[in-house]
């Protein structure tokens, strides 16, 4: 993956660029990052799943890794990314021992982690490399490990607006939830559930209490596919099923 364009040129201004693009929604990047982690927390409580070691795949400048570490009380959180500058910034920001950041090639997946999270990463990965990326996450998880796959929902007009105004989304190719599920199955995961989140902008925030009841409708700005690495090997991952 070393020959692909990286986020290095956006890393220093990542937060400011995102803030600009999100302006219309009335919320900032931390609102969305914390919202995703809270959503995931609710889902894991329902599954009675308490993770110990996490992976933040495509962690960027490391915004979410400490949120995951805090929310789930993780003993170890590993952030990986292809962008050297992003990893440098993530390391500079998070000084504690609980989160460590690596370039993809520096971290060898070893089936030792039980929670993986990614947000807004796969729409930046060239189509031909997506299956390899999903398998990397699969290889990092132990059997029974959970992958929270967050992506932008391209049918949502707000999402389309934000992505059209975000400098680093110019080359993005979004995945529908169906394409996301097919990709994850092809990498060897079983699908647990899919939820849509972030329906209402700040202006309509009184209605946000309704969001958990609307989560099965394709309305939100983002969606989460929760997937599990099977406990029992069900045969080789069927990469040939993914097109």
Residues in contact with ligand SAM by the rule CB under 6 A: 1, 6-7, 58-60, 63-64, 81-83, 86, 104, 119-121, 124-125, 129, 133
Question: Hey, what are 80's tokens?
Answer: 């990986």
Question: Quick one: 43 or 133, whose CB is closer to ligand SAM?
Answer: 133
Question: Quick one: 104 or 183, whose CB is closer to ligand SAM?
Answer: 104
Question: Quick one: 83 or 215, whose CB is closer to ligand SAM?
Answer: 83
Question: Quick one: 7 or 153, whose CB is closer to ligand SAM?
Answer: 7
Question: Hey, what are 226's tokens?
Answer: 């929760």
Shortest reach from residue 30's CB to ligand SAM, in Å: 10
Residue 187 CA to residue 169 CA, distance in Å, equals 25
SS3 state at 192 = strand
Shortest reach from residue 163's CB to ligand SAM, in Å: 10
Contacts of 151 (CB under 8 A, 6+ apart): 119, 120, 122, 123, 174, 175, 177, 180, 222, 223, 225
Question: Hey, what are 2's tokens?
Answer: 């070393």
Q: Which residue is nearest to ligand SAM (CB)?
A: 60
Question: Quick one: 104 or 162, whose CB is closer to ligand SAM?
Answer: 104
CA dist 130 to 124, 179, 196, 239, Å?
9, 11, 22, 11
Cα 23 from chain centroid?
21
Shortest reach from residue 83's CB to ligand SAM, in Å: 4
Nearest to 120 by CA among 77, 169, 183: 169
Q: Looking at the chain, how many residues does it have?
A: 243
Shortest reach from residue 222's CB to ligand SAM, in Å: 10
Question: Quick one: 69 or 125, whose CB is closer to ligand SAM?
Answer: 125
**Please, are residues 140 and 109 in contact by the beta-carbon 8 Å criterion?**
yes
Shortest reach from residue 219's CB to ligand SAM, in Å: 21
Shortest reach from residue 62's CB to ligand SAM, in Å: 8
Residue 103 CA to residue 85 CA, distance in Å, equals 10
The vertex-36 CA angle with 238 and 103, nearest 5°, equals: 60
Shortest reach from residue 227's CB to ligand SAM, in Å: 17
Question: Quick one: 6 or 194, whose CB is closer to ligand SAM?
Answer: 6
């Amino acid at each position: 993956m070393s020959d692909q364009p990286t986020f290095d040129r956006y890393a220093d201004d990542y937060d400011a660029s995102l803030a600009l693009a999100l302006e219309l929604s009335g919320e900032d990047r931390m609102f969305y990052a914390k919202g995703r982690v809270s959503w995931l927390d609710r889902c894991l409580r329902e599954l009675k799943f308490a993770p110990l070691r996490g992976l933040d795949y495509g962690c960027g400048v490391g915004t979410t890794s400490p949120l995951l570490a805090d929310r789930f009380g993780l003993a170890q959180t590993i952030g990986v990314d292809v962008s050297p500058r992003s990893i440098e910034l993530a390391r500079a920001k998070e000084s504690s021992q609980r989160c460590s950041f690596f370039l993809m090639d520096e971290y060898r997946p070893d089936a030792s982690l039980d929670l993986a999270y990614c947000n807004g990463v796969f729409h930046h990965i060239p189509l031909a490399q997506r299956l390899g990326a999903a398998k990397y996450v699969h290889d990092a998880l132990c059997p029974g490990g959970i992958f929270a796959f967050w992506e932008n929902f391209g049918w949502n007009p707000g999402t389309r607006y934000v992505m059209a105004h975000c400098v680093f989304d110019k080359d993005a190719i979004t995945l529908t939830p169906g394409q996301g599920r097919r990709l994850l199955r092809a990498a060897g995961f079983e699908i647990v559930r899919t939820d849509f989140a972030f329906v209402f902008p700040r202006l309509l925030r009184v209605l946000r209490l309704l969001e958990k009841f609307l989560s099965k409708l394709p309305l939100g700005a983002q969606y989460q596919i929760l997937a599990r690495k099977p406990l029992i090997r069900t045969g080789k991952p069927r990469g040939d099923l993914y097109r």
